[in-house]
Amino acid sequence: MLHRIASVVASEAAAGTHFATTIVVAAEWLPGGLSLKTYFVPRRLSQKNAALGGVGRIPGAAGAYVPGESCHAWVPQHEPRGQCAEPIAATNSMLAVDNVVSEKSHLKFYFQTPHTSFASVREIVTLGGRIPVADSHLQDLRSLLLAINGIDSDFADQQEVPCPEQYDPSAIDNFVELPILLSGYLYYFDIAPGPALPSIKLYNPVRRYGPDDRALAGGIMQWMDAHGRILRAV
């Protein structure tokens, strides 16, 4: 088996395949001490320009890793074949775990979606309405995304955020085998022992969307100022 894998890797390397790190260990310094996390970013051998695995495998994996959890109950409704996520087409792009005993560890799934409309953001962060989020908080999130992306406030919720056709040439080689990572928003689902539903975070890839760094910083500062997030000297 190992000989076959080595042969495939050697053949792909000879053909010019771009290889990148698939396992990353991250150190987090917390008040209580050092914490480690492991991130898995699989590249399937002999499969280029493909998704990194389907979310259909998550229910079994989550149930085995976090025994007795009901977190897998929301997955079938939000995989690409489900009614809720059908227009969103989320793709599992990375898995992370806390390096502790499984009873205390979190499963961290990262999903890439080609969509950037706020309608799709609202659908995912609320799991189609299953996670209650105050409308005022959603509007704050909407205004933050508009500020980050340099978009006017009358931008339609159903409209996709525009981006340059050509990606930054200085970084495009980092994703040569996974072009799906070049566009769309990234979502992080934190499945913790106990809760029936995950905690969800949204990542806006400013390397792809929005204005230059100076305009980006200015937009964020204006948003923080308008929302009382800036500390001022007395």
Residue 174 confidence (pLDDT) above 50: yes
pLDDT classification of 231: cutoffs 50, 70, 90: low
Flag whether the pTM goes above 0.85. no
User: Which range among 77-91, 103-117, 120-134, 155-169 shows the weakest confidence by mean pLDDT?
Assistant: 77-91
Structure tokens belonging to residue 39: 């991130």
Q: With 80 as the cut, is the pLDDT of residue 131 above it?
A: yes
Long-range contacts of 72-80 (CB under 8 A, 24+ apart): 73/196, 74/127, 74/130, 74/196, 74/197, 74/198, 77/127, 77/128, 78/124, 78/127, 78/128, 79/54, 79/55, 80/54, 80/55
Assign 224 a pLDDT band (cuts: 50, 70, 90).
very high
What percent of the chain lies above the pLDDT cut of 70? 63
Q: How far apart are CA 72 and CA 132, in angstroms?
A: 19
Residue 18 makes CB contacts below 8 A (sequence gap 6+) with 173, 176, 177
CA separation for the pair 214, 223 (Å, rounded) = 14
Taking each helix axis from N to C end, the angle separating 118-125 and 135-149, rounded to the nearest 10 degrees, works out to 140
- Return the higher-pLDDT residue of 155 and 2: 155
With bands split at pLDDT 50, 70 and 90, how would you rate the model's confidence at 229?
confident
Q: Which of 129, 161, 137, 134 is nearest to 148 (CA)?
A: 161
Radius of gyration of the chain (CA): 20
Neighbour count for residue 76 (Cβ, 10 Å): 16
Query: Residue 91 has what pLDDT?
Result: 67
pLDDT at 105: 85
Question: Rounded to whole angstroms, how far apart are CA atoms 117 and 78?
Answer: 17
pLDDT at 119 over 90: yes
